[in-house]
C-alpha cells in the first residue's frame, strides 16, 4: 500500500508518501517560521495564505521524491483535526480534489493520532518498536497529555491526564519570548539550558507532587515573567538568561517525566513513547530514556523528523485506517476539536 499524506494543521505545509508498514518514501516540509517570526507567533490568516501558495509544489515534490505518480497511490490521507481551521481547510480541500480526480479513497486523520503513531515510521534507521499497550506522552506547542494506547486505532486511545492550562511547548516559546530569544523560543531555551545553572534561579516544578496525571504550566511561565520584570543581573545577563532557561527546563522536564512513568506503572505498561514537537527537546529525550531504564521500562523516542509536524505520520495513520477498510466522504470537514475524548478539565479548582 502507498498513501499520500497532506499536513497543514498549523504553520508547516507537508506532504509525504509512506507505505502501509510505515516506510517513508518521501517527506517534504515547507516551514513558515520566518514568516511568523516578526510577529512572535503564528498568525492564522497568514498561515492559511502560505499553505495555499505552497501546498501544490510540496505535494508534487513529495510524489517526485518517492518516484511515484498520483495514480500509483492507494489512498490520500489528510489532517482534518485539530488545528487552525483555516489552515486545515487548505489541506482538506486539496486532498479532496486529488482523491476525486484520481479516483482514490479519502482518509481523514486526527493530528494527535498521527503524533502518537509517528514512532512506527521507518526512515531507514535500525529501530526497535514498542508493543501494545503503551503509554505515550504527547507534548507540543498546542497539546500536552498522557495517553494509554491499546491498539493502532483512534478508538483504542485513552487520555489519562493532561495540562489544565497552557501546553508545555507554548510555555517554552513564551519563556523564550520573555527572555528576548526570538521565535520559536523553545529550541533556543533548550540550547541555552545545556550551559546554564538550574540552581541559580530555582523554579518550582508545577504539580510535581500531586497524585494525579494533570499538569499546569501557566504558573511557571508567570514566575519567569516576574524574574524578568524584577531585572536580571546586567553584568552577566547572557549567563543569567542561560541559568533561567536551565531552571525552567529542568522543572518542566521533571513534571513530564515523572507523570509519564507514574502513568505507565499505574497501568502495568512497560513501554513508553514520546511524541510531538517538544519531543525534540534534548533534556526531555535523555531524561525520559534514563528514568525509564532505571525502572525496567523501555522508552521509545522517534528521530527529530518524526517529532515535529510532518505529513509522513499523517500518511501512516491514514494507511492504518485504509487497511482497516475505513474511508471518508466528500463531506469531510476541518475542525479544531480532536477525536480523542478529553478527561482533563481546563482551568482552576477541583474536578
141-167 tens-digit pLDDT = 899 999 999 999 999 999 999 999 999
82-122 tens-digit pLDDT = 999 999 999 999 999 999 999 999 999 999 999 999 999 99
Domain 2-118+306-323 CATH assignment equals 3.30.420.40 = yes
**Side-by-side strand order, sheet with 298-300:** 157-162, 144-149, 134-139, 271-275, 298-300
Residues 6+ apart with CB under 8 A from 306: 118, 119, 121, 123, 312, 313
CA neighbor of 318 nearest in space, from 77, 20, 2, 60: 77
On the question of a common fold for 2-118+306-323 and 131-302, the answer reads yes
The domain limits of the chain are 2-118+306-323, 131-302
Q: What single DSSP character describes residue 231? A: -
Q: List helix spans (H) across the chain.
A: 33-37, 44-65, 85-102, 111-117, 168-178, 186-193, 218-230, 237-266, 282-294, 304-307, 311-323
Domain 131-302 CATH assignment equals 3.40.50.2300 = no
- The span from the CA of 175 to the CA of 179, in Å, is 6
What's residue 349's pLDDT?
57
What's residue 351's pLDDT?
46
> pLDDT class for 233, splitting at 50, 70, 90?
confident
Residues 6+ apart with CB under 8 A from 59: 4, 6, 15, 94, 98
For 85, 227, 229, 304, the CA distances from 48, given in Å and listed in that order, are 9, 36, 35, 25
Q: What single DSSP character describes residue 155? A: G
- The span from the CA of 149 to the CA of 154, in Å, is 9
Query: Cβ(88)–Cβ(334) under 8 Å?
Result: yes
Query: Cβ(117)–Cβ(313) under 8 Å?
Result: yes
In this prediction, residues 233-257 reach a mean pLDDT of: 95
The C-alpha angle with vertex 186 and arms to 182 and 187, in degrees rounded to 5, equals 90
pTM exceeds 0.85 for this model: yes
Residue 268 pLDDT more than 70?
A: yes
Residue 134 pLDDT more than 90?
A: yes
Residue 236 pLDDT more than 60?
A: yes
312-338 tens-digit pLDDT = 999 999 999 999 999 999 999 999 999
Residue 350 pLDDT more than 60?
A: no
32-58 tens-digit pLDDT = 999 999 998 999 999 999 999 999 999
Amino acid at each position: 500500500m502507498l498513501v499520500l499524506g497532506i499536513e497543514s494543521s498549523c504553520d508547516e505545509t507537508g506532504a509525504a508518501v509512506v507505505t502501509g508498514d510505515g516506510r517513508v518514501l518521501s517527506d517534504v516540509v515547507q516551514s513558515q517560521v520566518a514568516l511568523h517570526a516578526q510577529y512572535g507567533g503564528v498568525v492564522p490568516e497568514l498561515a492559511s495564505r502560505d499553505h495555499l501558495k505552497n501546498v501544490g509544489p510540496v505535494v508534487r515534490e513529495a510524489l517526485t521524491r518517492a518516484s511515484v505518480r498520483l495514480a500509483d497511490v492507494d489512498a490520500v490521507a489528510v489532517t482534518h483535526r485539530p488545528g487552525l481551521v483555516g489552515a486545515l481547510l487548505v489541506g482538506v480541500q486539496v486532498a479532496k480534489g486529488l482523491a476525486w480526480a484520481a479516483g482514490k479513497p479519502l482518509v481523514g486523520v486526527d493530528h494527535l493520532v498521527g503524533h502518537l503513531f509517528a514512532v512506527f515510521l521507518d526512515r531507514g534507521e535500525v529501530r526497535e518498536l514498542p508493543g501494545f499497550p503503551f503509554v505515550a506522552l504527547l507534548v507540543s506547542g498546542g497539546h500536552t497529555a498522557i495517553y494509554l494506547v491499546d491498539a493502532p486505532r483512534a478508538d483504542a486511545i485513552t487520555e489519562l491526564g493532561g495540562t489544565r492550562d497552557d501546553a508545555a511547548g507554548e510555555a517554552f516559546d513564551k519563556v523564550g519570548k520573555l527572555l528576548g530569544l526570538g521565535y520559536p523560543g523553545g529550541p533556543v531555551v533548550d540550547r541555552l539550558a545545556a550551559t546554564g545553572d538550574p540552581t541559580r534561579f530555582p523554579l518550582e516544578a508545577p504539580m510535581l507532587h500531586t497524585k494525579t496525571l494533570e499538569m499546569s504550566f501557566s504558573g511557571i511561565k508567570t514566575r519567569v515573567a516576574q524574574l524578568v520584570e524584577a531585572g536580571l543581573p546586567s553584568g552577566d545577563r547572557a549567563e543569567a538568561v542561560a541559568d533561567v532557561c536551565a531552571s525552567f527546563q529542568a522543572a518542566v522536564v521533571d513534571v513530564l517525566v515523572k507523570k509519564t512513568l507514574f502513568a505507565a506503572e499505574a497501568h502495568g505498561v512497560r513501554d513508553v513513547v514520546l511524541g510531538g514537537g517538544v519531543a525534540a527537546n534534548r533534556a526531555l529525550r535523555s531524561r525520559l530514556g534514563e528514568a525509564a531504564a532505571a525502572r525496567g521500562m523501555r522508552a521509545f523516542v522517534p528521530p527529530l523528523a518524526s517529532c515535529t509536524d510532518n505529513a509522513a505520520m499523517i500518511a501512516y495513520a491514514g494507511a492504518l485506517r485504509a487497511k482497516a477498510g475505513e474511508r471518508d466522504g466528500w463531506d469531510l470537514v476541518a475542525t479544531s476539536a480532536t477525536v480523542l475524548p478529553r478527561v482533563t478539565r481546563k482551568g482552576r479548582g477541583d474536578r
